[in-house]
C-alpha cells in the first residue's frame, strides 16, 4: 500500500494503491476494500481516511526508469472504482 497526500487549492488529495503485482512480492491480492478501510480507520485520523478505494489488476504505470506516474493513474479509467460508503468524494 502506498499513501500520499498533498494540499492543492484547499482540496486534500489522498490516494492509496494496492496492486496484485506478485513480481515484487509486496502486495496482497486478496485484500478487500473493507479490510483496507478498517486498517486505515485503525491507524489514521478521520481526515486522512481515503475517500475512494480503487482496485486495479494492471501494473502501476511507470516511467522507463521505474518511477510511478500518478497522473496516469488518475487519468486511467480501465479500473473498477468503488466509493467508500458514507464518505464524501473529494478527489483522487
Partner 1 sequence: MRVATMASRYRSHLISLRDGREVTLRAIVEADATKIVQAFERLSAESRYYRFMRYKKQLDGRALERGVHPRPGREFAFVATVPAAEGTDIVGAGQYVRAGDGNEKTCEFSITVAEDWRGGGLATRLLASLVRRARRDGYETMEGWVLAQNTPMLAVARKLHFKSEPVSGDAAVLRVQRAL
Question: What's the rounded Cα separation, in Å, for the pair 5 and 14?
Answer: 5
* Closer by beta carbon to partner 1, 14 or else 85: 14
* Closer by beta carbon to partner 1, 32 or else 91: 91
Question: What's the rounded Cα separation, in Å, for the pair 45 and 66?
Answer: 32
Q: Which residues contact 92 (CB under 8 A, 6 or more apart)?
A: 13, 14, 15, 51, 52, 54, 74
Binding site for partner 1 (CB under 8 A): 1-2, 4, 6, 8, 13, 17, 23-26, 60, 63-71, 74-75
CB of 13 to partner 1, least distance (A): 8
* Closer by beta carbon to partner 1, 1 or else 87: 1
CB of 85 to partner 1, least distance (A): 27
Amino acid at each position: 500500500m502506498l499513501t500520499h497526500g498533498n494540499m492543492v487549492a484547499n482540496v486534500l488529495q489522498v490516494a492509496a494503491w494496492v496492486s496484485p503485482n506478485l513480481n515484487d512480492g509486496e502486495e496482497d491480492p486478496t485484500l478487500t476494500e473493507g479490510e483496507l478501510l478498517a486498517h486505515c480507520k485503525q491507524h489514521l485520523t478521520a481526515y486522512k481516511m481515503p475517500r475512494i478505494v480503487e482496485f486495479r489488476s494492471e501494473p502501476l504505470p511507470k516511467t522507463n526508469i521505474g518511477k510511478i506516474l500518478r497522473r496516469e493513474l488518475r487519468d486511467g479509467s480501465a479500473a473498477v472504482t468503488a466509493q467508500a460508503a458514507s464518505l464524501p468524494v473529494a478527489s483522487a
